[in-house]
Amino acid sequence: MPLAEALTVDDIQLGTSAFWARPLDERDAAFAALRAKCPVAFHPELEVLEGRPEGPGFWSVTRYEDVRTVSRQPHIFSSSQGITLSDEAPEARDFFGSMIVLDDPRHSRLRLLVQRGFTPKTVAAIDESVRVRARNLVAAAGALGECDFVESFAAPLPLQIICDMLGVPAADEQAVFDWTNVILGAGDPEFGGSFDALFAAAMSMFNYAQALGQDRLDHPRDDLVSTLMQAEVDGDRLSPAEFGSFFILLAVAGNETTRNAISWGMKLLTDHPDQRRAWQSDVDGMTPAAIEEIVRWASPVIHMRRVAMEDTRVGDQEIAAGDKVVMWYWSADRDETVFDDGHAFDLTRSNAKAQVGYEAGGPHFCLGANLARREITMMFQEIFRWLPDLQITTEPDRLLSPFINGIKRMRCQFTPAAVPIAT
Ligand code: HEM
């Protein structure tokens, strides 16, 4: 009997770390079983972070249409009490209080202000730096013939681009990178795992960013931070503290997501050489759909959480005001009513664009989606061009997290090449 049919709903406890440590095919089977047998299931919430009180539990929404229903009704399903499984600590609100955890009207006020930094013109200006940075990472690793893929290719690109955008000097890039690892790796013992570690990293990053914002307020330059700090909507401006938490959001959201899309993409291409050959022989034609399929399959952000503001229902399930509701994007992206054989990686899938990896139709749709698409595209194009036989040679060492589908490390091999530096 297939695993999904054998599993009972009680076997599947999404609030436990043990569940998230299981192999991915078991995760797939568990979500398939939930979609089929109990599409809105209640899960007790076990302690995710050391030192935090146990929460009340949460509803798990696993079907594609139900996830979209929740996402598109922000007046009923609020983001303001946190967007991950565990309750947000009040002490951390200042740091993580950016727009992703706000409802309207505060959400749209902040989004209008920061959108200035993501106009087609600003993104076009970053475009060139994405190409140069991707090439230079490939050039730096090119002579090695063997290295860690995450460390040499997938992780540095999004980090460098965010730092370029935010005007972070090269000397501080590593600190920004380490803070984001601690914040999103919360729960994985390798990154500190405790609430104290998370809090300390957030505070350091917030102080760093606030100082940067204040500096650009006092001494504007030709960079994104100055644009953001000087932007005015109806006489309203970003305060340095608001910039501090926006910086944390951008650094975390921009780094840990795109890097995992690139890493999973390379692993999937290694496992599916026929599809890789097809893509490499028609790079321009296949790239747009291929990168959607990578993000669908990887679902780098596994879930987003809301809280019901009134008694309501999702599907046939009644939900009480105050209950936590979790949208499992990972599961929606595999829903068999939308994606044929959703566990399969298929670069020719005609509807990969319907994936909800960046959002599910609500007002919090990913601000950086186009930038992420550009980064993933550039990294694969540069690898295909200069290191065309690059292969992943070890199993991914996965991040232990119910939130980010992360790969911490995995080795790769390729024929060494002298790759010219781009300027
Ligand atoms: C493959 C890469 C990425 C994925 C999968 C991803 C995914 C997501 C998801 C799922 C959301 C929340 C949507 C919701 O609540 O329904 C989100 C929001 C957001 N993302 Fe991304 N993201 C990626 C890359 C980026 C990049 C590169 C940036 C910035 C440079 C970025 C910035 C943001 C911001 C600022 C928000 C909050 C928007 C709001 O609250 O209005 N993301 N992203």
Cβ(254) to ligand 1 under 6 A? yes
pLDDT of residue 109 exceeding 70: yes
Residue 46 has φ and ψ, to the nearest 5°, of: -90, 160
Separation of CA 364 and ligand 1 centre (Å): 8
Cβ(402) to ligand 1 under 6 A? no
Can you give the pLDDT at residue 92?
Answer: 64
Q: Determine the average pLDDT of the residues in 384-412.
A: 95
Nearest CA to ligand 1 atom 37: 100
Test site for ligand 1: of 262, 358, 359, most ligand atoms within 8 A of the Cβ? 358
Contact 75, 183 (CB under 8 A): no
Atom of ligand 1 nearest to the CA of 83: 15
- Give the whole-angstrom CA distance, residue 150 versus residue 162: 17
Cβ(355) to ligand 1 under 6 A? no
pLDDT of residue 49 exceeding 70: no
Residue 217 has φ and ψ, to the nearest 5°, of: -70, -40
Cβ(98) to ligand 1 under 6 A? no
Instruction: Work out the percent of the chain whose per-residue pLDDT is above 70.
Output: 92
Separation of CA 190 and ligand 1 centre (Å): 24
Backbone angle region of 30, left / alpha / beta, with phi > 0 → left and psi within -120 to 50 → alpha: alpha
Which residue would you say has higher pLDDT here, 273 or 184? 273
- Give the whole-angstrom CA distance, residue 308 versus residue 167: 39
Cβ(258) to ligand 1 under 6 A? yes
Helices (H), 106-194: 106-115, 120-142, 149, 156-166, 170-184
What tens digit of pLDDT does each residue of 211-236 get? 998 998 899 987 888 888 888 777 78
- Give the whole-angstrom CA distance, residue 126 versus residue 131: 9
Can you give the pLDDT at residue 110?
Answer: 86
Nearest CA to ligand 1 atom 15: 364
Q: Which residues contact 191 (CB under 8 A, 6 or more apart)?
A: 181, 182, 185, 197
Q: Determine the average pLDDT of the residues in 200-218.
A: 90
Q: Around 144, how many Cα atoms within 13 Å sit in the side-chain half-sphere?
A: 15
Q: Which residues contact 197 (CB under 8 A, 6 or more apart)?
A: 182, 186, 191
Nearest CA to ligand 1 atom 39: 364
| Reported confidence tier of residue 136, pLDDT bands at 50, 70, 90 | very high
Q: Comparing C-alpha atoms, which of 404, 421, 406, 179 is closest to residue 304?
A: 404
Cβ(360) to ligand 1 under 6 A? yes
Cβ(97) to ligand 1 under 6 A? no
Separation of CA 111 and ligand 1 centre (Å): 12
- Give the whole-angstrom CA distance, residue 167 versus residue 250: 13
- Give the whole-angstrom CA distance, residue 198 versus residue 179: 8
Instruction: For residue 95, give both structure tokens.
Output: 């740091």
Of 2-11, 26-35, 62-71, 177-186, the least confident:
2-11
Cis peptide bond N-terminal to 240, omega within 30: no
Nearest CA to ligand 1 atom 18: 366
What tens digit of pLDDT does each residue of 32-43 get? 999 999 999 999
Atom of ligand 1 nearest to the CA of 356: 10
Nearest CA to ligand 1 atom 38: 364
Tell me the pLDDT of the chain averaged across its residues: 89
Atom of ligand 1 nearest to the CA of 99: 40
Nearest CA to ligand 1 atom 10: 358
Instruction: For residue 281, give both structure tokens.
Output: 């022989």
Atom of ligand 1 nearest to the CA of 114: 35
- What would the DSSP string read from start to end of 190-232? GGT-BHHHHHHHHHHHHHHHHHHHHHHHHS--SSHHHHHHH--
Can you give the pLDDT at residue 9?
Answer: 82
Beta bridge partners of residue 135, listed in sequence order: none
Q: Comparing C-alpha atoms, which of 214, 207, 249 is closest to residue 230?
A: 214
Cβ(303) to ligand 1 under 6 A? no
Cβ(242) to ligand 1 under 6 A? no
| Reported confidence tier of residue 193, pLDDT bands at 50, 70, 90 | low
Cβ(359) to ligand 1 under 6 A? yes
